[in-house]
């Protein structure tokens, strides 16, 4: 009970600006196990909504109305660490993870499999839609939080004809993965969002030429896809 109260106090102080509840109301609600879970979920949703508002002008609404043109993708940085089939990116101080992904997507010819927790990056979403339009087999798995976001690439991609499903069975589908032509895999902490590229400290890794690793990620993608439902 003491630990929950202390945790509730820390969470309330840290995020009171992001939620409509007062810090003391959060603490009182957090005294039960279920209450604590609800508080943390509320905090997560509030922060997620804040990030969503920041990218609202870059993505279409659920009505499918046209959005503003996506911002230009940054050119690849010379700071990419390459070697032995691995390309690394670190933001904000290293190479652009967004540029690495956009370039990899543009190079994909047959199949692009995506798993994402949060997906609001306009340049990445546009690159995915372009891949679909040129005949690439594109499929996307998203976390269930994307169903309640006001602005998300899920809606944009669905209107573009890209199959999108929701991995709704786990508490959180926290994967950030792309599999390119069953030959390369991107993974890391990097969410496919503007905030991840411009505001956060994140990392990512593009793995090429490791058949065992690519197969493992591909197999796991299909496992999660079978357990997901349509968006």
Catalytic site residues? 174, 176, 181
pLDDT one-digit tens code per residue, 168-183: 999 999 999 999 999 9
pTM of the prediction?
0.66
Question: CA-CA distance, 25 to 69, in Å (whole number)?
Answer: 42
| Residue 204, phi then psi, degrees to nearest 5 | -155, 160
Confidence band of 28 (pLDDT split at 50, 70, 90):
very low
pLDDT tops 60 at residue 14: no
Q: State the Cα–Cα distance between residues 46 and 117, nearest whole angstrom.
A: 16
> What residue spans define the domains of the chain?
2-54, 81-230
pLDDT in tens, 135-169: 999 999 999 988 877 778 889 999 999 999 999 99
> Residue 92, preceding bond cis, omega within 30 degrees?
yes
CATH architecture of 81-230: 2-Layer Sandwich (3.30)
């Amino acid at each position: 009970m003491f630990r929950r109260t202390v945790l509730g106090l820390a969470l309330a102080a840290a995020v009171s600006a992001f939620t409509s509840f007062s810090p003391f109301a959060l603490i009182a609600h957090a005294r039960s196990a279920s209450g604590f879970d609800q508080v943390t979920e509320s905090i997560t949703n509030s922060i997620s909504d804040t990030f969503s508002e920041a990218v609202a002008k870059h993505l279409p609404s659920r009505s499918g109305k046209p959005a503003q043109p996506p911002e230009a993708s940054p050119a690849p940085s010379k700071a990419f660490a390459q070697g032995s089939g691995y390309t690394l990116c670190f933001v904000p101080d290293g190479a652009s993870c967004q540029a690495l992904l956009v370039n990899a997507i543009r190079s994909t010819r047959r199949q692009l499999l995506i798993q994402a927790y949060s997906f609001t990056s306009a340049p990445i979403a546009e690159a995915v839609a372009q891949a679909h339009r040129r005949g690439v087999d594109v499929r996307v798995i998203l976390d269930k939080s994307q169903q309640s976001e006001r602005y998300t690439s899920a809606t944009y991609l669905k209107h573009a004809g890209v199959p999108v499903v929701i991995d709704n069975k786990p508490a959180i589908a926290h994967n950030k993965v792309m599999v390119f032509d069953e030959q390369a895999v991107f993974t890391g902490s990097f969410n496919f969002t503007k905030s991840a590229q411009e505001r956060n400290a994140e990392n990512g890794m593009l793995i090429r030429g490791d058949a065992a690793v690519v197969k493992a990620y591909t197999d796991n993608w299909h496992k999660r896809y079978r357990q997901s439902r349509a968006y």
